[in-house]
Amino acid sequence: MAWWKNVALVAAASLAVAAVVCAGVAAASKFDDVVQPSWANDHVLYEDDLLKLRLDSSSGGGFASKNRFLYGKATADLKLVPGDSAGVVTAFYLSSAGDKHNEFDFEFLGNVTGEPYLVQTNLYIDGVGNREQRIDLWFDPTADFHTYAVLWNPSQVVFLVDDTPIRVYDNKNATATKLKGHHRHPNATATTQAQTVSAFPSPHPMAVYSSIWNADDWATRGGLVKTDWSHAPFVATFRDVRVEGCAWAANATDSDAGEVARCSGSSWGKEGRYWWKEKDMQELSVHQSHQLVWARAHHLVYDYCVDTDRFPVQPPECAGR
């Protein structure tokens, strides 16, 4: 081979490598302000303008937000693992620290090809979970990107799929009124119950996390269907991750009274307007209430509130359901 051809080939190869590196750097820089790999860094991949979590027989992977926050909204534009994903779980969630932690979970439960994904939501309050609900989806979550979000303020925790609320966990201790859409109706029974019933997450800062892992002991048909590793690697793809909230001071403890007061009582801060705490965020709009009714009527497949085998005595937050 002539020397100039060899030089040309080397130059072309170098440019190709540089292009791949630059694409990875561009994707990394897009996410760098918000999240960072939290475990199995080699399974957290940046490709073009995307972030990918990879699961193979050796490991899964995950990322975490760089900052913690108290109240706000965490959002992911996510495309789930396509094809046979039985046994594979992809999670997007918020969590505080410690044994008495609070946690708000989206868990996407894989399935065999042609069978629908199930989306499991759960809340841990003071370290106690067991508040699972499951829905199927009205679209194929593997064909394109869809938006999954958790809104959290002192009045409620709302799980949303493409801006449609699929679950609301109210702070029944925050008000002595009965909520109906955008209107509040005084109710003596509700007042009495609100003084004694359901726990609501205490004001501790949370970080945002995502991970992919093998959960074939429970994820698909109760663990009857196992992960088929011949289909590995399993890849969940993120187009964007956004966190809008009151950023907790990096040097503050989890129970810092000054930070709690600032994030709970203020309307503005260094992050801008605290829109997630405004009046119209304290309950669903009439339209959102209708969306929630529709989602539950057509897509809810499991609700711990009505599982009398697990809970012979109905959990207090389920009263009236």
* Catalytic center residues: 103, 107
Asked if residue 197 lies in contact with residue 313, where contact means CB atoms within 8 angstroms, the answer is: no
Report the first-to-last Cα separation within the chain, whole angstroms. Answer: 79
244: left (phi over 0), alpha (psi -120 to 50) or beta: beta
What would the two tokens of residue 206 be? 């949370």
Look-up: residue for tokens 């992809």? Answer: 90
Distance CA 143, CA 236 (A): 12
Helix (H, G, I), strand (E, B) or coil at 235: strand
**DSSP string covering 135-160:** EE-SS-TTTS-EEEEEEE-SSEEEEE
CB 80 within 8 A of CB 146: no
Scored b (16 or more CB within 10 A) or e, 100-116 reads ebbbbbbbbbbbeeeeb
